[in-house]
C-alpha cells in the first residue's frame, strides 16, 4: 500500500512545495531590497523550483496513466492486449503464492482481471478503500493475499528501463484530421462585404463582394529502417520486434513534434513558430502573420514582468479566449512562477494544479509545457497563448506502417517503417506569441 500512498500524496507535496517556493521568493525579494546577501536564498529557491518541476512532471505522467486506464477496451486489439495482460498477471499471481508456500489459486478470467484493474486504479486515484463500491471491493479481492497486500496489474511491473525523451503536446492541443488524399484543402473566409447608409431616393451603387482564399496542408513522409539479426529476434528474452516498433514510433513522435513548432514546410510540416510575426493588431496585420507582444527585454522579462502577459491576453477577440491556453518552455515557467500581480499586490500569477487531472494555471488559463518551442533567448518566441485548435491543424494520411524484410540483408531483418503527416497554421488570429525582445 506504500506505493498507493506515495502516489496519493503527490498532489499534497506539490502544494507544500508551492507554499515553500512563495515564502522563499518573498524572503529573496526582501533581502535584495535590504542589500543583504542572497546567494543562499537563490540556491534554495532554485532547488525548490527544480523539485516543483519534477513533481509537475510526475503529476502529468500520473494523469496520463489514469486517463489511459479509464479507456474502454472495446476494440479487438484492446481486448487482445487485455487478455495478454491477464495471462501475465495470472503467472505473477501463481508465482507469488508459490513463493509463500500457499495453494495456487485458479486463473482469473480476463473480465475479472479488467474489473480488478479498474478497481485498483480507482484506489490509486482516491487512496481510500472506503470510497470503493461493493463490486469494486469484490474485484479487489482477486488480487489480495492473506497479508492484505495487493499485486500490481501486469502493465505496471516488469518494464524495461529506458531513457525518457521529450514529447511535444501539439497533438493534444491542435486540431488533428485524418485524410484520404495527399493533402487537406480548406477555405479562408477573412474578408467582409461592403455596406453603407443611403437616403430614401439616393443612388444605390454596387458594393464590394467579399473574397475568399484557400489553404493547403500536405502530408509529408517520415521513415525509419532499423535492422536486427534473426538470431536476436529468436533468442532475446523480450519481444524485440515490439520493442523496436515502440522505439520507432517514439522517434517519429519527436521528429514531428519538433516540426509542428519549427518545421519550414519543405518536405515536412510548417511549424507554428516558423511563420512571420509582427507587433501589429488583427485589424492591420496581413493574413499569414501572427501577432507578437514584446517583453521589453532581450531574452528575458522586463521589470514590468506581468504587463506583457496581460497585454498578450488583452490583444485577443473574446471568442478565442474560450478555449485558450498558455504553452511555454520549462525555463519560462520557472521565471513566471516568481511573478506577482503588481508591486502592491502580493498575489502570485501562477496557480499550480492541486487536483488530479487539473493543469497548472496562469492568470486563470491552463498552462502546458512543450520543450520543442524555440529556446529562450534574444527575440525568441518561447511562450504562446491562444486557441490552438483554431490556429493549427495536423493532418494524418496513414499511420505507422512497417514492412518486414528478411531477404535483402541476410542475416539481418530490416524493418522499413513509414508515416505520412503534415501540419500548418490556418487561423492567424487565434494564437499570439510573447517575444523576448526589447522592441
In a 13 Å sphere around the CA of 162, the CA atoms on its Cβ side amount to 11
For residues 152 and 214, state if they share a domain. Answer: no
The Cα 344–Cα 342 span in angstroms is 5
Burial class (CB in 10 A: 0-12, 13-18, 19+), 156: middle
Is residue 176 in some structural domain?
A: yes
Is residue 216 in some structural domain?
A: yes
Q: Which residues form the domain of 144?
A: 76-156
User: In Å, how far from its chain's centre is CA 15?
Assistant: 21
The Cα 144–Cα 138 span in angstroms is 10
For residues 244 and 95, state if they share a domain. Answer: no
Is 384 in contact with 326 (CB distance < 8 Å)?
yes
Is residue 347 in some structural domain?
A: no
For residues 437 and 310, state if they share a domain. Answer: yes
Is residue 98 in some structural domain?
A: yes
Burial class (CB in 10 A: 0-12, 13-18, 19+), 53: middle
Which of the 8 DSSP states describes residue 273? G
Last residue of a domain, one of 132, 156, 180: 156
- The per-residue pLDDT for range 196-226, each reduced to its tens digit, is 888 888 888 877 777 767 889 999 999 999 8
Q: What is the pLDDT of residue 299?
A: 93
Residues 6+ apart with CB under 8 A from 156: none
The Cα 377–Cα 235 span in angstroms is 50
For residues 132 and 263, state if they share a domain. Answer: no
- The per-residue pLDDT for range 148-176, each reduced to its tens digit, is 345 556 655 554 555 556 789 999 999 99
- The per-residue pLDDT for range 256-306, each reduced to its tens digit, is 999 999 999 999 999 999 999 999 999 999 999 999 999 999 999 988 778
**Domain CATH code at residue 292:** 3.30.2400.10
- List the one residue out of 214, 226, 221, 222 whose CA is nearest residue 187: 214
For residues 259 and 374, state if they share a domain. Answer: yes
Residues 6+ apart with CB under 8 A from 69: 117, 118, 121
Is residue 93 in some structural domain?
A: yes
Cell of 379: 527575440
- The per-residue pLDDT for range 318-364, each reduced to its tens digit, is 999 999 999 999 999 999 998 987 767 778 899 888 776 788 999 99
Is residue 248 pLDDT above 50, yes or no? yes
In angstroms, the Cα distances linking 154 to 64, 71, 109, 140, 317 are 17, 16, 14, 14, 49
In angstroms, the Cα distances linking 35 to 31, 38, 303 are 6, 9, 18
Q: What is the pLDDT of residue 316?
A: 96
Number of structural domains, the chain?
Answer: 2
For residues 189 and 151, state if they share a domain. Answer: no
Amino acid at each position: 500500500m506504500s506505493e498507493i500512498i506515495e502516489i496519493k500524496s503527490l498532489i499534497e507535496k506539490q502544494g507544500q512545495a508551492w507554499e515553500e517556493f512563495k515564502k522563499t521568493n518573498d524572503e529573496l525579494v526582501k533581502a535584495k531590497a535590504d542589500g543583504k546577501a542572497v546567494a543562499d536564498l537563490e540556491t534554495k529557491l532554485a532547488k525548490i523550483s527544480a523539485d516543483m518541476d519534477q513533481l509537475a512532471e510526475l503529476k502529468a505522467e500520473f494523469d496520463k496513466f489514469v486517463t489511459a486506464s479509464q479507456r474502454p477496451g472495446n476494440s479487438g486489439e484492446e481486448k487482445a492486449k487485455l487478455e495478454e495482460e491477464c495471462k501475465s498477471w495470472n503467472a505473477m499471481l501463481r508465482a507469488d503464492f508459490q513463493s509463500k508456500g500457499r495453494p495456487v489459486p485458479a486463473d482469473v478470467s480476463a473480465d475479472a482481471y479488467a474489473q480488478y484493474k479498474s478497481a485498483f486504479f480507482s484506489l490509486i486515484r482516491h487512496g481510500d478503500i472506503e470510497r470503493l463500491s461493493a463490486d469494486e471491493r469484490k474485484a479487489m479481492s482477486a488480487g489480495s493475499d492473506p497479508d492484505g497486500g495487493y499485486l500490481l496489474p501486469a502493465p505496471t511491473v516488469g518494464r524495461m528501463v529506458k531513457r525518457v525523451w521529450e514529447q511535444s503536446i501539439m497533438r493534444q492541443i491542435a486540431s488533428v484530421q485524418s485524410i484520404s488524399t495527399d493533402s487537406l484543402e480548406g477555405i479562408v473566409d477573412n474578408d467582409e462585404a461592403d455596406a453603407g447608409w443611403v437616403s430614401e431616393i439616393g443612388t444605390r451603387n454596387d458594393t464590394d463582394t467579399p473574397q475568399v482564399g484557400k489553404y493547403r496542408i500536405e502530408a509529408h513522409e517520415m521513415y525509419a529502417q532499423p535492422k536486427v539479426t534473426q538470431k536476436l529476434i529468436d533468442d532475446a528474452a523480450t519481444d524485440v520486434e515490439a520493442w523496436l516498433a515502440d522505439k520507432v514510433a517514439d522517434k517519429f513522435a519527436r521528429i514531428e513534434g519538433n516540426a509542428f513548432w519549427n518545421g519550414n514546410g519543405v518536405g515536412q510540416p510548417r511549424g507554428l513558430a516558423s511563420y512571420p510575426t509582427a507587433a501589429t493588431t488583427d485589424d492591420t496585420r496581413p493574413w499569414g502573420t501572427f501577432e507578437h507582444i514584446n517583453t521589453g527585454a532581450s531574452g528575458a522579462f522586463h521589470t514590468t514582468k506581468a504587463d506583457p502577459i496581460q497585454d498578450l491576453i488583452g490583444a485577443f477577440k473574446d471568442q478565442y479566449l474560450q478555449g485558450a491556453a498558455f504553452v511555454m518552455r520549462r525555463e519560462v515557467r520557472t521565471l513566471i512562477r516568481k511573478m506577482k500581480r503588481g508591486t502592491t499586490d502580493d498575489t502570485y500569477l501562477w496557480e499550480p494544479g492541486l487536483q488530479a487531472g487539473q493543469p497548472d494555471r496562469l492568470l486563470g488559463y491552463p498552462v502546458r509545457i512543450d520543450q520543442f518551442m524555440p529556446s529562450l533567448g534574444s527575440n525568441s518566441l518561447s511562450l504562446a497563448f491562444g486557441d490552438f485548435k483554431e490556429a493549427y491543424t495536423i493532418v494524418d494520411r496513414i499511420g505507422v506502417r512497417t514492412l518486414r524484410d528478411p531477404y535483402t540483408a541476410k542475416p539481418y531483418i530490416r524493418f522499413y517503417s513509414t508515416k505520412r503527416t503534415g501540419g500548418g497554421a490556418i487561423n492567424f488570429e487565434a494564437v499570439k506569441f510573447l517575444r523576448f525582445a526589447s522592441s
